[in-house]
Amino acid sequence: MNIFCLAFFLKSIIMILMKTFNLRPERRKRHNTFLVTNTVARTVSFLRAQDRDSPFLFVAEKIYGGIPMVKVIMNEKEISRALTRLAHEIIERYKGIENLVLVGIETRGVPLANRLGAKIGEIEGVIPVEAINIEAYRDDAEGTAAPVAKSDVDLTGKKVILVDDVLYTGRTTRAALDACVDLGRPAEIALAVLVDRGHREFPIKADFVGKNIPTAKEEEVKVSLNEIDGADEVLIK
């Protein structure tokens, strides 16, 4: 039985290597972690069912216990489809793009806002896209310097759509609202996010959501974008 278990384990390692060579170099490290985690998990389950006294089970359990679980929630195509859907929802809600402006929240909200603006442009026409840095507006920011939004655009009378990657506690969005008000008096402000993971600490709700992902508080949701990270994907670990 131990020989059979060893064969299964080696087969799993070979599968990892085969899949790795089919990946682009910048994505190999991230996907290697995902593949190793899931392969070891499968091996542990198999060995527990076949031979609980196997020494390979002991080794696999030790490895499995030291590897964080990683799950791909959205891949490149799913992110693109989500942004396309958000573009249509925005156009439908506002009956066009008149007086609309997208404001990306740094860091990953900015490339998302640019992509969303490009998709809206393909359907309806050119829409202004701005960026703001909200670090000075956070309630956990250090120092006494006066908050200054990075963008110098006047938002007075505009229909603003804030764009961010993940909506979690709502503290980032609250800071972004303060930053927008410092840039004028918008006619209205809406929020578009790629991922809503729940666990709000402020009464804030996204108007446009790419994907709702139920999570535990101790879990981490990581959004990677090609412009910053070299790959498009959403991971949970």
Which CATH number goes with the domain that contains 131? Answer: 3.40.50.2020
Question: For residues 176 and 182, what is the distance between their CA atoms, to the nearest angstrom?
Answer: 10
Report the candidate in 207, 206, 211 with the shortest Cα–Cα distance to residue 195: 211
* 29 and 117 share one domain: no
pLDDT tens-digit profile of 157-213? Answer: 999 999 999 999 999 999 999 999 999 999 999 999 999 999 999 999 999 999 999
What pLDDT score was predicted for residue 145? 44
- pTM for the structure as a whole: 0.73
Which string of b and e fits 105-121 if b means at least 16 CB within 10 Å?
beebbbbbbbbbbebbe
Domain span at residue 88 reads: 76-236
* 160 and 185 share one domain: yes
* 128 and 232 share one domain: yes
* 170 and 123 share one domain: yes
The low-confidence residues of the chain, meaning pLDDT below 50, are 1, 23, 28, 66, 144-146, 149-150
* 186 and 156 share one domain: yes
Strand partners of residue 236: 71, 221
* 84 and 188 share one domain: yes
